[in-house]
Amino acid sequence: MPFSPQVHDNPRPVNFSQTRVAVVGGGPAGLMAAIQSAGSGAGTLLLEKMPRCGLKLRLTGKGRCNLTNTAGIEDFLAHFGEQGPFLRNAFHRFFNDDLRKLLEDLRVQTVVERGGRVFPVDDSASSIADALIRHATQSGAVIACNIRVKRIRAVPDSGFFLDMEKPDGRLYSCRAEAVILATGGLSYPGTGSSGDGYGFAGSLGHSIVPLKPALVPLVTEGKRARRLQGLSLKNVKMTLRVGNRERTWLGEMLFTHFGLSGPIVLSASRYAVEGLDSGKTVTLSFDLKPALDDRKLDARILRELSGHGRQQWKNLLKKLIPLRLVPLCCEETHIDETKPCHQVTAEDRKALRHWLKHFSFQIVGHRGWDEAIVTSGGVRLSEVTPNTLESKTSAGLYVAGELLDLQADTGGYNLQAAFSTGWLAGRAAAEKTSGKTVDL
Ligand SMILES: Cc1cc2nc3c(=O)[nH]c(=O)nc-3n(C[C@H](O)[C@H](O)[C@H](O)COP(=O)(O)OP(=O)(O)OC[C@H]3O[C@@H](n4cnc5c(N)ncnc54)[C@H](O)[C@@H]3O)c2cc1C
Residue 2 has pLDDT above 70, yes or no: no
Residue 387 has pLDDT above 90, yes or no: yes
Residue 421 has pLDDT above 60, yes or no: yes
pLDDT band at 304 (very low <50, low <70, confident <90, very high): confident
Output the pLDDT for position 429.
Answer: 97
Residues in contact with ligand 1 (CB, 6 Å cut-off): 24-30, 47-50, 55-57, 59-61, 65-66, 148-149, 182-184, 187-188, 192-193, 196, 373-374, 401-402, 412-415, 418
How would you label 381-390 residue by residue, b for 16+ Cβ within 10 Å and e otherwise? bebbebebbb
Calpha distance 76→413 (Å, rounded): 7
Output the pLDDT for position 407.
Answer: 94
Q: What is the mean pLDDT of residues 164-176?
A: 93
> Which mutation among 414, 419, 423 tests ligand 1's pocket best, with the greatest number of atoms within 8 A of CB?
414
Output the pLDDT for position 167.
Answer: 94
Considering the domain 7-213+375-434 in this protein, what is its CATH number? Answer: 3.50.50.60
Nearest Cα to 344, choosing from 372, 376, 308, 377?
Answer: 308
| Residue pLDDT, tens place only, 243-301 | 999 999 999 999 999 999 999 999 999 999 999 999 999 999 999 999 999 999 999 99
Output the pLDDT for position 310.
Answer: 80
Calpha distance 72→95 (Å, rounded): 9
Calpha distance 323→313 (Å, rounded): 13
Beta bridge partners of 319: none
Q: How far is the CA of 27 from the centre of ligand 1 (A)?
A: 5
Nearest Cα to 44, choosing from 143, 150, 174?
Answer: 143
Q: How far is the CA of 56 from the centre of ligand 1 (A)?
A: 5
The residue whose CA has the least distance to atom 26 of ligand 1 is 401
Neighbours of 14 (CB within 10 A): 12
Output the pLDDT for position 439.
Answer: 61
| Residue pLDDT, tens place only, 115-137 | 999 999 999 999 999 999 999 99
Output the pLDDT for position 14.
Answer: 40
Q: How far is the CA of 53 from the centre of ligand 1 (A)?
A: 10
- Distance between start and end Cα atoms, the chain: 26
pLDDT band at 144 (very low <50, low <70, confident <90, very high): very high
Reported pTM: 0.90
Calpha distance 293→299 (Å, rounded): 10
| CB of 403 closer than 8 Å to CB of 181 | yes
Average pLDDT score over the chain = 93
Calpha distance 84→77 (Å, rounded): 5
The residue whose CA has the least distance to atom 5 of ligand 1 is 60
Neighbours of 97 (CB within 10 A): 10
> Which mutation among 47, 193, 405 tests ligand 1's pocket best, with the greatest number of atoms within 8 A of CB?
193
Nearest Cα to 369, choosing from 251, 171, 233, 195?
Answer: 195
Task: For helices 294-305 and 346-357, give the axis angle rounded to 10 degrees.
Answer: 130
**At a CB cut-off of 8 Å and minimum separation 6, what does 147 contact?**
47, 48, 49, 164, 165, 166, 172
Q: Is 178 left (phi over 0), alpha (psi -120 to 50) or beta?
A: beta
| CB of 38 closer than 8 Å to CB of 136 | yes
Calpha distance 390→396 (Å, rounded): 7
Output the pLDDT for position 8.
Answer: 42
Nearest Cα to 257, choosing from 219, 284, 288?
Answer: 219
Residue 364 has pLDDT above 90, yes or no: yes
Calpha distance 49→147 (Å, rounded): 4
The residue whose CA has the least distance to atom 20 of ligand 1 is 415
| Residue pLDDT, tens place only, 179-233 | 999 999 999 999 999 999 999 999 999 999 999 999 999 999 999 999 999 999 9
Radius of gyration of the chain (CA): 26
| Residue pLDDT, tens place only, 28-81 | 999 999 999 999 999 999 999 999 999 999 999 999 999 999 999 999 999 999
Residue 12 has pLDDT above 90, yes or no: no
* Alpha helical stretches, state H, 70-124: 73-78, 88-93, 96-105
Output the pLDDT for position 440.
Answer: 55
Residue ranges of domains in the chain:
7-213+375-434, 217-367
Residue 226: strand, helix, or coil? helix
Q: What is the mean pLDDT of residues 19-25?
A: 93
Output the pLDDT for position 307.
Answer: 77
Residue 368: strand, helix, or coil? coil
